[in-house]
């Protein structure tokens, strides 16, 4: 009997030891390829959010982060690189890089982030479900509300200038929306296009003396050259309304209203984790940032003062970030 008990005890200890070793074993390592169209604060924040979300979830992940520097051919090369590496999952940050991944990768899950209209971009068949091996998070921006806010701060605005990238599907979609809002508000729409960030300053100079204000959407190429837009606008004494607060804190932009892109990165990270745990992208619809806490409003009272404008008290109160006397206050 003692011998049997000893054998059973040894067996129990062996099983316990194996279970403990199994529980302590690290999760299977995964490689995630991230391709962003350019480097600017908003897109960089998306990448950081993704990395932090996976780190906090204890995922054993390594990241291959690539920057296409605004070049479509480079974006295609990055996609080819990810395919040859056989990454476990690829992320396209912004429309052009997401399109390159979808057009190139075979058998690899793809998650897009900071894409304005994934349906028109050909990434998914509808917003209600993912495409084959692809789904993601949209940053469709509230264009109408942004322009209405601009009009509250500068009621006498009659002509709005808009600079956008002709080769970025998201930028073209948003330009159409801006044009429609201007039509509804009986505003003159003055547009100019660019193909790369080096052209942004000249484009701003082309329209600066013909408009009362400039509106900048979540156009990655233009946003990456926001300093040039702000410089030209300051000389022309006209305000800039931007849809990207992340890139506006250090420049003379009157107001910026848009998403917290770090939080968008965290939301994208959650989606990545679902897929790595077995959920198919086809089962996941496009997700949107819908919480009030997902949105940031920046008001630059120093710029308003220089332009002789008074920002309504309710707008200042609603702002999460206020710049005044050269200092930034976060609420």
The 10s digit of each residue's pLDDT in 56-113 is 999 999 999 999 999 999 999 999 999 999 999 999 999 999 999 999 999 999 999 9
Average pLDDT over every residue of 196-219: 97
**More confident site: 300 or 249:** 300
Q: Reply yes or no on whether the pLDDT at 11 is more than 60.
A: no
The 10s digit of each residue's pLDDT in 114-165 is 999 999 999 999 999 999 999 999 998 889 999 999 999 999 999 999 999 9
Place of tokens 């109408």: 144
Q: List strands edge to edge, sheet with 295-300.
A: 188-194, 159-165, 213-216, 240-242, 255-259, 295-300, 321-324, 327-330
Pairing type for strands 295-300 and 255-259 reads: antiparallel
The 10s digit of each residue's pLDDT in 98-126 is 999 999 999 999 999 999 999 999 999 99
Nearest by Cα to 133 from 161, 92, 171: 92
pLDDT confidence of residue 290: 80
Reported as type and span, the H/E element at residue 3 is helix 2-24
Give the span between the Cα atoms of 217 and 210, in whole angstroms. 19
Supply the DSSP string of 107-131, one letter for each residue.
SS-EEEEEES-TTTTTS-SBTTB-B
pLDDT confidence of residue 15: 44
The 10s digit of each residue's pLDDT in 176-204 is 999 999 999 999 999 999 999 999 999 99
pTM for the structure as a whole: 0.79
Tokens read off for 106: 């075979």
Q: What is the DSSP letter of 292?
A: G
Give the span between the Cα atoms of 230 and 29, in whole angstroms. 44
Give the span between the Cα atoms of 110 and 281, in whole angstroms. 8
């Amino acid at each position: 009997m003692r011998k049997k008990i000893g054998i059973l005890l040894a067996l129990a200890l062996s099983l316990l030891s194996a279970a403990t070793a199994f529980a302590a074993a690290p999760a299977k390592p995964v490689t995630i390829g991230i391709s962003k169209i350019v480097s600017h604060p908003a897109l960089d924040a998306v990448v950081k959010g993704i990395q932090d979300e996976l780190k906090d979830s204890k995922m054993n992940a390594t990241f291959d982060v690539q920057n296409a520097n605004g070049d479509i051919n480079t974006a295609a090369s990055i996609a080819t690189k990810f395919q040859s590496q056989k990454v476990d999952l690829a992320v396209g940050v912004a429309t052009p890089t997401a399109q390159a991944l979808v057009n190139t990768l075979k058998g690899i899950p793809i998650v897009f982030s900071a894409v304005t209209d994934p349906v028109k971009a050909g990434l998914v068949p509808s917003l209600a479900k993912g495409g084959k091996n692809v789904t993601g998070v949209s940053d469709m921006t509230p264009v109408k509300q942004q322009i209405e806010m601009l009009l509250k701060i500068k009621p006498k605005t009659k002509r709005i200038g808009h600079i956008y990238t002709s080769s970025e599907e998201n930028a073209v979609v948003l330009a159409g929306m801006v044009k429609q809002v201007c039509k509804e508000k009986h505003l003159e729409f003055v547009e100019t296009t660019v193909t790369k960030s080096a052209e942004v300053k000249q484009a701003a100079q082309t329209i600066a003396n013909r408009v009362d204000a400039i509106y900048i959407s979540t156009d990655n190429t233009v946003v990456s050259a926001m300093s040039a837009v702000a410089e030209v606008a300051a000389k022309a004494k006209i305000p800039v309304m931007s849809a990207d607060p992340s890139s506006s804190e250090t420049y003379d932009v009157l107001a910026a209203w848009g998403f917290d892109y770090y939080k968008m990165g965290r939301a994208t990270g959650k989606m990545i984790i679902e897929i790595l745990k077995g959920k198919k992208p086809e089962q996941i619809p496009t997700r949107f940032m819908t919480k009030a806490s997902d949105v940031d409003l920046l008001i630059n009272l120093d710029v308003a003062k220089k332009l002789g404008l008074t920002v309504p008290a309710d707008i200042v109160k609603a702002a999460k970030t206020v710049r005044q006397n050269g200092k930034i206050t976060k609420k």
